[in-house]
């Protein structure tokens, strides 16, 4: 078994989904691992990771709209240290998750035809986000 680790730095421009599938695929190719498991971990509590469709932009818009309705900005939250989008961002992260595990098959991420890996930025202002990647395999 071999292991490799790296981190990705992603700059965001506010609430959106930021695809970084190609970054992960390029890094994976450089490791030489052909069979194994990639783990991605977002090091933030107001941004998250998800796998979803990367062909139709309407899917991204619908997902963001749903998340904003599921955890709306409101004065009902006690925690608002960084503004009204602070606590909703934490809830959206809880709903979508901070880590992903993706099998590696024949040296590639075992994603479906229309699947992409996304960082979901849940805050309105730009941020620099870090995602740790680890692969184990042969």
Kindly state the tokens that stand for 50.
């998800």
Q: Give 2-137's CATH code, choosing from 2.60.120.460, 2.40.30.170, 2.60.120.590, 3.50.50.60.
A: 2.60.120.460
Torsion sign (Cα): 28, 12, 81, 94: negative
User: How far is the CA of 84 from the CAs of 5, 21, 47, 49, 125, in angstroms?
Assistant: 35, 31, 15, 22, 12
For residue 54, the 8-state DSSP code is: -
Region 35-46: mean pLDDT is 98
Output the pLDDT for position 61: 97
Q: What is the pLDDT of residue 89?
A: 98
pTM, 2 dp? 0.96
| Residues counted in the chain | 138
Q: Where are the domains of the chain?
A: 2-137
Write out pLDDT tens, residues 111-136: 999 999 999 999 999 999 999 999 99
């Amino acid at each position: 078994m071999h292991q490799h680790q790296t981190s990705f730095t992603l700059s965001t421009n506010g609430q959106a989904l930021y695809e970084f599938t190609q970054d992960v695929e390029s890094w994976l190719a450089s490791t030489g691992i052909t069979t194994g498991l990639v783990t991605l971990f977002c090091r933030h509590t107001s941004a998250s990771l998800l796998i979803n469709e990367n062909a139709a932009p309407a899917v991204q818009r619908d997902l963001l709209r749903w998340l904003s309705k599921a955890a709306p900005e409101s004065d009902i939250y006690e925690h608002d240290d960084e503004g009204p989008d602070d606590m909703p961002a934490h809830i959206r992260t809880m709903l979508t998750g901070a880590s992903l595990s993706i099998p590696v098959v024949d040296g590639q991420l075992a994603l479906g035809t229309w699947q992409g890996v996304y960082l979901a930025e849940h805050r309105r202002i730009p941020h620099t986000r870090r995602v740790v990647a680890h692969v184990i395999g042969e």
